[in-house]
Structure 1
Amino acid sequence: MKIVLAYSGGLDTSLALSWLQRTYDAEVIAFCADLGQSEDLAEARSRAERNGAAKVYVEDLRHEFLARYAFRALRADAVYEGKYFMAASLSRPLIAKRLVEIAREEGAQAVAHGATGKGNDQVRFYAGITALDPGMRIISPVLEWDLHTRAAQIAYARTHGVQTPAFKSSPYSRDTNLWGSSVECGPLDDILLAPPEEVYTATVSPESAPEDPELVRLTFERGVPTHLDGEALGPVELVERLAERAGRHGVGRIDIMENRLVGLKVRGVYESPAATVLYEAHRELENLVLERELFQYKAEMGRRYAQLIYDAKWFTGLRTSLDAFFTDVQERVGGTVTVKLFKGSVTTVSRSSPHSLYHPDYASYEAENEFDQRAGEGFSYIWSMPARVAGLRRGGASWT
């Protein structure tokens, strides 16, 4: 039997690599997606080889992740429950896609992942893999084995000579990529307490951020960021540079009570410095170039899009149809927005676009302008007609 394992190089997937070989008498191929995480992927490759992987794939998918997944969510202004930019959620369809592609190339009969049964990722991997290859067998070692304590994991590693990353005393569970990071468990389970400063790795405390604000100029074409302070940059470099600058000002910290797909309420602490800035700038640019009805309707569809991403429904007809809608809307979303970074906040200070619907000659309250003030009474009369008729029907009775 041949199995392709989604391999992070961490403790669980290092154990899973060994466990799969022994439990299924299988040849295991490790696949590690480079999405801009902080781990040493060269060391992860070496560890996989030492633990008996038949082959190891370490693929740089950062550009594809941003261009085809994160930036699609940005174009949609998709934010789960109004706060979470879904860095982890957006990466799972891409990992699932490559798992299936590698399994087909290698003639594997199954794929495996290290997600637990309590989180969202087990559903995301299962749904993605099944949509792409309904006949592919999916193995979830963490759901099958009995290594549910740190002591049991250490004992297994020692018994079978499994090379693992250093066992750390940190109580936190982390997931990181270019678009953001998530932290759970440990002291964060006590929702009466503020997150300890130690949980943050990409942003400084707003209180200790620079005393002087910093201006950042972002240019968009068809809803996609293309320039930072006038310099044309590819997605990876633009996001990396922006994340560093925003993080230096404490921008991008999020602490929410999150409704998980599996039905649990959990506390999620996230850092998304680049995404926080890009969403602010993109939304302001849309408000400048889209008429009111389209802007408001698109916001509703953005919320629906976020729900699809979070709920493991990337590979669905509704998602692709919504993408077609957003692609059409974004044709006019081009221009430049300048934002101010200061003490954990990001604020738009200027915006411009060749497609701007702002017309100062009409919008100004100065006496000399193009707007016909006399038209206001007739407009107000017609607009308030339903209220007028209802008032006549009530016969002057007051509202309660």
Structure 2
Amino acid sequence: MQYNSAEEKNEKKAVLVAIITQNQNEEKVNEYLDELAFLTSTLGAKTIKRFTQRLEKPDVRSFIGKGKLEEINAYAQAEKADWVVFDDDLTPSQLRNLEKELKVKIYDRSLLILDIFLNRAQTAQAKTQVELARNQYLLPRLTRMWTHLERQRGGTATRGGAGEKEIETDKRIIRNTITKLKERLAKIEKQSRTQRKSRGKIVRVAIVGYTNVGKSTLMTRLSKSDILAENKLFATVDSTVRKVNFEDIPFLLSDTVGFIRKLPTHLIESFKSTLDEIREADILIHVVDVSHPTLDDHISVVNQTLTDIDAGDKPTLLVFNKVDLLEEEEEISVEEKIKNLKNTYWNKEQNDVVFISATNKENIEELKNKLRKLVEAKHFTIFPNYLKNTYY
């Protein structure tokens, strides 16, 4: 096999696995696997094969049936796969059994997302949040194949029956680490709350949305500052806050971590302080990738997550981004698609709707005008006499 670069040579090879059930049909499973492949790519691995199996429910022992497991094992060994990635969470016993059978690194969706967050986190707060979530997730799932604690326990080599003692040592290390991380996070969160209070009564706007819909690019357009924007899931993990002025009306604009289906519970719990940027916002900008085939599902996931964190009733500007990626079809033109979406979501959600391309700066001024009206309305409830004669 020829490699074009050192990076390609070092790229991991991954096999993806999912089950088809009554609650998760084949079409939905393929959609989830597309997303899982994108997640896997984000963490640095190339998907070389997908396996699916129809089951009423996951196999208690190994998630998938014995025959399918043997098929996956034969393929993984023949192709020298590095990872086998499951689209649903695995129980501790399933993980142990799968590692024993397949003898490669096993990921489930939650651990994959946690590792992506671990690589993406930049601030002390985000790093601590992710480390806490990851340790809480790994604690019941430790097996002898995990070696990430070797340095902490002294790197002593153990053989045979010492393996169980080694796992217990690892568990003790993780419990102590969790305690320390919780203490560290409590101090950081206290500082964050103090910082948020010190911002005064200025209007606060938070950009929310599914991951990889263009939130960071939009943040750059609105705040005129350089924000990391990549075509990868979870390019942004840390919240970014910028002060913006629209015709002398100031407000704070924050870019937040993207939502995703099956987001690990531990991660939501650990990221509560980051999600406070959303909870404490006066206005939300909900960004949607209008070109994505399952945008309705993305909207539902975001709306449900907002409801779960008690932020579902805030004034919201619904922004359909990436109109430059919409394509004509035989039955319907791009203009008709946009018109139908606008009518649908205006009637359904009763909130402002705007269609833009953050990358091409298309309709950005229309977005700014709609946002300015929302910010003004909130601003003048806080400061009734502020610049009133300028506008009325």
TM-score, normalising length: structure 1 = 0.28
TM-score, normalising length: structure 2 = 0.28
Larger Rg: 1
Greater RCO structure (CA 8 Å; 6+ sep): 1
